[in-house]
Amino acid sequence: RKEVEQDPGPFNVPEGATVAFNCTYSNSASQSFFWYRQDCRKEPKLLMSVYSSGNEDGRFTAQLNRASQYISLLIRDSKLSDSATYLCVLEGDQGGKLIFGQGTELSVKP
Amino acid sequence: GAVVSQHPSWVICKSGTSVKIECRSLDFQATTMFWYRQFPKQSLMLMATSNEGSKATYEQGVEKDKFLINHASLTLSTLTVTSAHPEDSSFYICSASGTSGSGVRSYNEQFFGPGTRLTVL
């Protein structure tokens, strides 16, 4: 079983739609979780950290469910510029190593 | 945020040659650098972790004699792909974490370089 699993998509949504991505992880000892965004042929960029209490940053909301070992990302009022691959990432238990999911591709259409 | 650069941004080489990729932290001291590889439509896979002044720690399945990593200073790490073959063609990305130049601010977050696209013919 992969350490981090994501639906690769693609998710094709119209502008203004709300879209949600889920991610499951296998290591219950994982402590830190993140969502990264990666544009085509570019490096990943940190979108937001994910806390147990949930956190919101503008149109983006991240949630963590430790009991079920999944993480979610909700994007409201999606924009064309949101089109990218969203990577679910967790920090491994050794020296700050990051473990990346395969990514979920989002395409926002006009 | 901190800035990490990579050079070159892309390289095309013949099979059997060696290619060196540089990763630099421009405004902070990178005590730890990470090297990743990403094949098309796949996730970033950690290849190795390097701490300044010590030998790199390689992930399982990554040949240390093929992928030579040097982290001789707090601002520079290099990855050399030796005797490259077409199957080594990939997107290589480094990341760095560390402290600001004054040692006051600690960057636990990893800052990624822009990546190097390697094509081996």
User: Model confidence over B74-90: pLDDT tens digits?
Assistant: 899 999 999 999 999 99
pLDDT of residue B105: 56
8 Å CB contact of B46 and A99? yes
Residues of chain B found within 8 Å of residue A5, distances taken between Cβ atoms: none
Which residue among A42, A100, A103 places its CB closest to the CB of B114?
A42
Give the residue numbers in A contacting B (CB under 8 Å), as ranges: 4, 8, 41-46, 87, 95-103
pLDDT bracket for residue B97 (50, 70, 90): confident
8 Å CB contact of A45 and B91? no
pLDDT at B106 over 70: no
Structure-model confidence comparison of residues B72 and B117, the more confident one: B117
pLDDT in tens, A74-97: 999 999 999 999 999 998 766 678
pLDDT of residue A89: 94
User: Strand B76-81's sheet: what is its strand order?
Assistant: B4-7, B19-25, B76-81, B67-73
- R_g (Cα) of chain A, nearest Å: 13
User: Strand A70-75's sheet: what is its strand order?
Assistant: A4-6, A19-25, A70-75, A60-65, A55-57
pLDDT bracket for residue B54 (50, 70, 90): confident
pLDDT of residue B61: 93
Contacts of B77 (CB under 8 A, 6+ apart): B22, B23, B30, B33, B35, B50, B69, B70, B71, B94, B96
pLDDT of residue A95: 64
Which residue among A4, A44, A96 places its CB closest to the CB of B112?
A44
Token readout for B57 is: 């720690």
d(CA A44, CA A30): 21
Token readout for B7 is: 């050079």
Contacts of B12 (CB under 8 A, 6+ apart): B119, B120, B121
pLDDT of residue B114: 96
Task: Give the residue-averaged pLDDT of B47-71.
Answer: 92
CA distance B18 to chain A (A): 23
Residues of chain B found within 8 Å of residue A4, distances taken between Cβ atoms: 43
